[in-house]
Amino acid sequence: MKVVVQRVSKASVTIDDRKVADIGSGLLVLLGIINEDTQEDIKWLSNKVANLRVFGDENGVMNKSLIDMNGDAIVVSQFTLHALTKKGNRPSYIKAAKPDVAIPLYKAFVKQLEIDLGKNVQTGEFGADMKIELLNDGPVTIIIDSKNKE
């Protein structure tokens, strides 16, 4: 399981001209899932995202987490995070989990993040053509892979 975490001043997700998610200060989390991902990956990665210290404290040092800031989050499924680009110029998505595996894991990740944060997490819509608008704050963009814990 892989995420791209972006600290945002605001972010939103629109599908067919309908805004389905909209937050102020918080994190936009793009989530990629592979077949080998498990509940252990979900718990580890959700905890990491919730506690990632990327928000400034009173001295401007990135020392506060989303929990500390009581910030909001949007989680968007993005199978392209597992693209293979070694051969040729056309990405291969063979590593990305198919919907029958990915959807339950995606929903479980969102639910676990809600538990970790103690609040609702907004989402995109799995498999939809989404338009994501964000104001990256910093910019702060971090990639975390549950298969690279060490």
pLDDT tens column, 19-41 = 999 999 999 999 999 999 999 99
Is 78 known to be catalytic?
yes
At the topology level of CATH, where does 2-145 sit? D-tyrosyl-trna(Tyr) Deacylase; Chain: A; (3.50.80)
Which neighbouring-strand residues pair with 21?
13
* Domain boundaries of the chain, sorted by first residue: 2-145
Q: How many CB atoms lie within 10 A of CB 31?
A: 27
Q: Tell me: pLDDT of 113 over 90.
A: yes
Closest CA to 1 of 91, 74, 95: 95
Catalytic residue among 6, 14, 39, 80: 80
Catalytic residue among 6, 78, 122, 123: 78
pLDDT band for position 117 (cuts 50, 70, 90): very high
Catalytic residue among 6, 55, 79, 109: 79
The model's pTM is 0.95
Closest CA to 43 of 97, 108, 98: 108
Is 80 known to be catalytic?
yes
pLDDT digits (tens, 9 = 90+) for 86-96: 999 999 999 99
d(CA 49, CA 113): 8
Angle CA 32–145–101, to nearest 5: 35
CA distances from 132 to 1, 32, 47 (A): 21, 16, 24
Q: Tell me: pLDDT of 150 over 90.
A: no
